[in-house]
Amino acid sequence: MKEKLRLRPVEKDDLAFIYQMQINPDVSNYWCEEPYTTMEKLTKSYETSQDNNFHRQFILMSGEERIGFLALYGIESRHRNAEFAIMIDPGQQGKGYATEATRLLVDYGFYQLNLHKLYLYVVKHNEKAIHIYQKVGFQTEGELKKHYFIDGQYYDGYIMGLLREDYSESHQ
């Protein structure tokens, strides 16, 4: 039986775990980034972010095992919205963690930070992720034509959003 999932803030000793996902093209392509970074760059970014109130970064844990990385970026205090992001370790994918992890971060955004809306960007052919986002309540708000360059080809994407009132109504 798998242990209950939980989120905890990213610590410096988590950077090697995050780095391994970021340099993996199978992960970074879906984050629409090239798998090019250095541990030094990641460490510097982590240290700089410690005084940043515009994002929250978490490690998804099952017991003492790291499962993934989740974040809210660009937290907008006036408009009460933020960008949702998730990365599940490739060795942990397909085990049902992503839906529960998404709900954990959505709950945090709406009920801890008092956000009004969460949004995300996703490559159109990432059907598994889109299915999870829709299951949690995200809706497609727009299509981004040939927005992402992956493996030598341009791909369409979606912007998806979730309003707090829609989420709260569906989870009562």
Active site amino acids:
133
CB neighbours (10 Å) of residue 140? 14
| CA atoms of 137 and 103, how far apart (whole Å) | 10
Distances (CA, A) of 145 to 32, 150, 154, 158: 14, 14, 9, 9
The side-by-side arrangement of strands in the sheet containing 153-163 is 5-9, 56-62, 65-76, 81-88, 117-123, 153-163, 139-150
